[in-house]
Structure 1
Amino acid sequence: MTKILYILDKKTKIKNPRIFRGTPAVFEGREHKNKKMTMHHNDFNDADKSHKIDSLRDMILNAEKTIQSAKAMLLQLEGKKKTGRKRKIDADAGDGEIIEGTFDGQIMLGTNGKQYPVPANYASKSKLVEGDMLKLTITPDGSFVYKQIGPIERRHMIGIVSQDEKGNYYIFSEGKPYKVLLASITYFKAQPGDEVAILTPREIDSSWAAIENVLQKGAIAGPRSVTAQAVDKEIETWKKELESPEPEEVPREDETPQDKPSASAVVDEWTSDIADLEKEIKAQNPSF
């Protein structure tokens, strides 16, 4: 039996006839073998293709994690605020570690006994006070996502912004100084002497306060100007007391005029001392 097969030439793209001689059984055997090889080759291609797809997906996932970690490190080094859409903590809960704790005015004290830093900007904008319950989610890329889950009962108060010699800010309210975050001062653009509304925990004797709003700018003079005015007033009082006439004393019989200094000499001496003292104070404190 003669059978003609057309074989495609890969170079010319032309089907060339080939004549094969043999029995029908031979041709059937060859065709069956070719079909079996083709099916095995297709199965191998499908398995290899699936393996390659899985490998590529793993490579892309690892690359994305690496890029996210690099971006987070870059933002921390540059001191910039992380941008982007807010993460849904509940959605990411399965992919990250969740820790609950209590805010102490600056940091979160976790139920596991560890301390976790709370961004000052977040604490200021959220007006967190000592005793608030927080939930921290640490995402796979190392980011910290906080959420307030149990706000403590608050007490509303009014106080005055003050600043000490070291530049630390305080809020004086009801005779007590409360510490305040610098980010809160910056966020509300508060200055020493401003009257502000603050929040403190009702049931806890806290040393921290959260600024709620600025009520009046420059309500009172700052501490430095008040001190300077007090010093100037004290010096003027001394001068007036020395300049005021004193009653003359009757000399004793055994005392001569040479033994007792004149009143004008005493006044001149004290006035000179006060002038020197005033110069010294102003030299040490130019603001006076």
Structure 2
Amino acid sequence: MQDNEPQELKSFERVRQILWDLQKDITKALDAVKRIEEEEKRKYYQTIPGVEGEFDGEFLVDSSGKKHDVPNNYSAKSRLVHGDQLKRIEDNEGVVYKQIHKVDRDKIKGVLNKKEGQWYVLTDKGTFKISDTAAEFNHAEVNDEAVAIIPRDNHNVPFAALDRVFKPAGSPATAPIKIEKVEVKLSKPKSEKKPEPKKAAAPAPKPAEKRPINKEFVADISLADDDLR
């Protein structure tokens, strides 16, 4: 802050700094509450009867080596990592899976690729299979950049959990949309010519009346012989 600033502006700056510090403290407190809650849940789930095992990226593998299907949406949403401990619990509502222990994690960056219908992330640590459900949920495309999660103590696992997907710079999803100016010319509507009214046809002339011939008058006419020559 500059020394010549008004006292009111300095007061605003102090209030802003206090609020920022409070926000940081609240965020830390929320994270602590979340960790405690997750730990208490794990302790509770450990007391419930069920089948425990290790997540291998696709299945829960119990102590006998039997594999149990883990719902893809659950493993993708929970970002389960190879080595996490799960419990398969059956109740009146069906079968549910609960995470009872998390392995330590490392986040790695890579590029997404697809082979034979399955998604992979290519990183400097190696190539890892990722959940197809997670890739589709994140609208993944080939050559997208991604952040994946692998166990900290074992980078040789075949599976990784997909954390986030980024579109590469300059891709259609990130490139600004150019809107071209289009001129629209409106033509004037053509005026319709009204049809001229038809002239009424002249009435046809009446035929001349024939006068009746007086038969009596004709009968009285006598022709001389000279008139027939």
Deviation by residue 1:146-196 (Cα, 9 ceiling, x = unmatched): 1111100111100101112x2221100006211111111012221111111
Give 2:106's aligned residue: 155
Question: Which residue type is aligned with residue 179 of structure 1?
Answer: K
3-state SS, counterpart of residue 82 of structure 2? coil
3-state SS, counterpart of residue 212 of structure 1? strand
Alignment partner for residue 117 of structure 2, among 150, 153, 167? Answer: 167
2:126 is equivalent to residue 176 of structure 1: yes
1:47-66 equivalences under 5 Å are none
1:231-270 equivalences under 5 Å are none
Deviation by residue 1:198-234 (Cα, 9 ceiling, x = unmatched): 10111122111111112x213598xxxxxxxxxxxxx
2:84 is equivalent to residue 132 of structure 1: yes
Question: Which residue type is aligned with residue 117 of structure 1?
Answer: D
Q: Is the 8 A contact 1:129 1:210 kept in 2?
A: yes
3-state SS, counterpart of residue 207 of structure 1? coil
Alignment partner for residue 61 of structure 2, among 77, 84, 109? Answer: 109
2:151 is equivalent to residue 210 of structure 1: no
Give 1:145's aligned residue: 96
- Distance in 2 (alpha carbons) for counterparts of 1:194 and 1:169: 11
**Aligned-pair identity (%):** 31
Q: Is the 8 A contact 1:128 1:210 kept in 2?
A: yes
| Larger RCO, structure (CA 8 Å, separation 6 or more) | 2
- Distance in 2 (alpha carbons) for counterparts of 1:201 and 1:220: 32
Deviation by residue 1:10-66 (Cα, 9 ceiling, x = unmatched): xxxxxxxxxxxxxxxxxxxxxxxxxxxxxxxxxxxxxxxxxxxxxxxxxxxxxxxxx
Q: Is the 8 A contact 1:161 1:191 kept in 2?
A: yes
Question: Which residue type is aligned with residue 194 of structure 1?
Answer: D
2:71 is equivalent to residue 119 of structure 1: yes
- Distance in 2 (alpha carbons) for counterparts of 1:100 and 1:220: 46
Change (3 A) 1:113 1:191: same
Give 1:100's aligned residue: 52
TM-score, normalising length: structure 2: 0.51
- Distance in 2 (alpha carbons) for counterparts of 1:129 and 1:160: 19
**Larger proportion of helix:** 1
User: How many residue pairs are counted as aligned between the two chains?
Assistant: 128
- Distance in 2 (alpha carbons) for counterparts of 1:105 and 1:158: 18
3-state SS, counterpart of residue 133 of structure 2? helix
Question: Which residue type is aligned with residue 95 of structure 2?
Answer: F
